[in-house]
């Protein structure tokens, strides 16, 4: 992709010339701020489901998945290490509707095969919890089989499931794991209370939780067969896109609120796939300094955006637009959550952005650059005059270079007019770097809808 003279080496997460580091646990387990039929080739939507006259498949929900730490002391609360003869019931929120769906499941960071004895999907009953509407309960199959085994390091897409899926609605996805299974592939900051229940209760209206994890496990996407000609916008980012410090269970991440705007406007059938990962960097994979507390959670930061671009952006069904909001962790993590040797220059960040742009354009996607939001006062040591100078240089390039197809000025939308190096106090989630619900709304409002029509 892009200029052949600058063509990087392909790895599992995409095409990049950045080295990928692995934890000591396994060569398949990626070190991820706060920020049998399961082959890699099986990730595209089944051909039968894409046949003419059947509509177009588009992502309605997505999550970037990561490894888990080698030594995780339960950070944050609610992490599940193993499940055995248990059902994992998970809630996801749709952006666009359709008359059928497929699920994307992942064992990308597993060291062993993942055996699923049964998988069900249904509409959620009520506004909270994990109860389902039994009339909507559907068994999910894989090549016609109810059980499926995913080899270590792979992912799979289900067969199409006939189900009327509403936009702006909750689905409940239930996975039964009959054998002892390490929870190895997750999205840690789900901001959604899920459930683990004993036995195969995948089709039960109500389950009795033995645990209530606030993470998604082995689940990375839901696509729908749209009723109209449509496409998807992918939000590629870090903790600001992941919704850290927004209200849990409310779906108030800025990509969720952007989806609300689209439905209220003239683009009601545009899917929004949020692949923000808290702690994610543009240029580097997690590399926590030995002996530091960050070792307990750095794996959740996920592969760098350069490594995961093909999987999380180019691999999204129906993707035609991508919004990039990255750079804060590249600037702030070295010296605390990453080695000082990984300190980056503004020029290196700009070159990373250029690589994303080239790869998006090579696949015909429109790509929009989001400016890096204020960092001064952040609790995580993310600000210094040197870091600020780099942030300003990167933002100036995003605004003026013309390299991106358009600019989304998140910085201007959330900075304090009286102190522009800081967040507006009424948008501050409490740590002076993340945003509350009002701040997330301001970010969603900063996206010109004309770009996505």
DSSP 138-191: EE--BTTBS-EEEPTT-EEEPPPEEEEE-TT-EEEEEEEE-S-EE--SEES---
CA distance 313 to 303: 13
Cβ–Cβ < 8 Å for 374, 422: yes
- Residue 70's pLDDT band, with cuts at 50, 70 and 90, is confident
Quote the pLDDT of residue 54. Answer: 58
Residue 310 per-residue DSSP state: I
The answer to whether residue 8 sits within a structural domain is: no
The answer to whether residue 17 sits within a structural domain is: no
The percent of residues above 90 in pLDDT, for the chain, comes to: 80
The answer to whether residue 231 sits within a structural domain is: yes
Residue 92 per-residue DSSP state: E
The answer to whether residue 149 sits within a structural domain is: yes
Dihedral over alpha carbons 106, 112, 118, 120 (to 10 degrees): -20
Q: Is the pLDDT of residue 344 over 80?
A: yes
Average pLDDT taken over every residue of the chain: 88
Contacting residues for 44 by C-beta, under 8 A, at least 6 apart: 157
The answer to whether residue 381 sits within a structural domain is: yes
In angstroms, the Cα distances linking 416 to 133, 139, 243, 380, 449 are 45, 50, 20, 19, 24
CATH of the domain at 135: 3.40.50.1110
In angstroms, the Cα distances linking 303 to 55, 275, 284, 300, 307 are 33, 12, 8, 9, 6
Please give the average per-residue pLDDT across 358-370, as a whole number.
98
Range of the domain at 352: 40-452
The sign of the CA dihedral 157, 158, 160, 162 is: negative
What are the tens digits of pLDDT across the range 428-446?
999 999 999 999 999 999 9
How many folded domains does the chain comprise? 1
The answer to whether residue 204 sits within a structural domain is: yes
Q: Is the pLDDT of residue 33 over 50?
A: no
Q: Which residue reads 């749709």 in tokens?
A: 94
The answer to whether residue 33 sits within a structural domain is: no
What are the tens digits of pLDDT across the range 291-340?
899 999 999 999 999 999 999 999 999 999 999 999 999 999 999 999 99
Task: Return the minimum-mean-pLDDT range out of 72-86, 194-208, 360-374.
Answer: 72-86
Q: Which two tokens stand for residue 72?
A: 């995780």
What are the tens digits of pLDDT across the range 230-257?
899 999 999 999 999 999 999 999 999 9
The answer to whether residue 170 sits within a structural domain is: yes
């Amino acid at each position: 992709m892009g200029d052949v003279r600058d063509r990087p080496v392909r790895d599992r997460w995409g095409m990049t010339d950045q080295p990928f580091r692995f934890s000591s646990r396994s060569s398949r387990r990626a070190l991820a701020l706060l920020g049998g039929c399961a082959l890699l080739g099986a990730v595209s939507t089944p051909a039968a489901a894409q046949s003419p006259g059947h509509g177009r498949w588009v992502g309605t929900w997505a999550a970037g998945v990561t490894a888990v730490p080698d030594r995780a002391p339960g950070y944050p609360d609610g992490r599940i290490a193993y499940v055995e003869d248990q059902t994992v019931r998970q809630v996801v929120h749709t952006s666009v509707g359709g008359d059928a769906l497929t699920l994307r499941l992942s064992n990308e960071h597993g060291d062993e095969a993942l055996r699923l004895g049964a998988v069900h999907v249904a509409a959620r009953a009520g506004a909270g919890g994990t109860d389902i509407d039994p009339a909507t309960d559907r068994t999910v199959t894989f090549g016609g089989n109810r059980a499926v085994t995913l080899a270590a390091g792979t992912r799979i897409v289900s067969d199409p499931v006939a189900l009327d899926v509403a936009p702006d609605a909750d689905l409940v996805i239930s996975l039964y794991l009959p054998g002892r299974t390490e929870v190895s592939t997750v999205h840690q900051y789900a901001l959604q209370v899920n459930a683990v229940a004993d036995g195969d209760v995948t089709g039960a209206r109500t389950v009795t939780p033995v645990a209530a994890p606030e993470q998604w496990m082995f689940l990375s996407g839901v696509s729908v067969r749209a009723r109209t000609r449509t496409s998807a916008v992918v939000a590629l980012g870090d903790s600001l896109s992941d919704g850290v410090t927004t209200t849990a269970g409310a779906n108030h991440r800025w990509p969720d609120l952007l989806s609300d705007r689209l439905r209220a406007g003239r683009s009601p059938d545009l899917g929004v796939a949020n692949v923000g990962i808290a702690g994610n960097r543009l240029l580097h994979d997690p590399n926590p300094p030995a002996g530091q507390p960050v070792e307990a959670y750095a794996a959740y930061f996920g592969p760098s955006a350069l490594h995961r671009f093909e999987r999380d952006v180019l691999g999204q069904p129906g993707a035609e637009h991508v919004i990039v909001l990255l750079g804060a962790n590249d600037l702030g993590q070295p010296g605390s959550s990453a080695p000082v040797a990984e300190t980056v220059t503004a020029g290196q960040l700009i070159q990373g952005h250029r690589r994303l742009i080239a790869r998006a354009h090579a696949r015909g996607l429109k790509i929009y650059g989001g400016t890096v939001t204020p960092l001064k006062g952040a609790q995580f040591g993310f600000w210094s005059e040197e870091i600020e100078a780099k942030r300003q240089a990167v933002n100036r390039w995003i605004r003026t270079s013309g390299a991106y197809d358009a600019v989304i000025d998140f910085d201007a939308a959330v900075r304090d007019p009286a102190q522009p190096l800081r967040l507006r106090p009424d948008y501050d989630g409490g740590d002076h770097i993340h945003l509350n619900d009002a701040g997330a709304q301001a970010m969603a409002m900063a996206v010109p809808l004309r770009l996505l029509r």
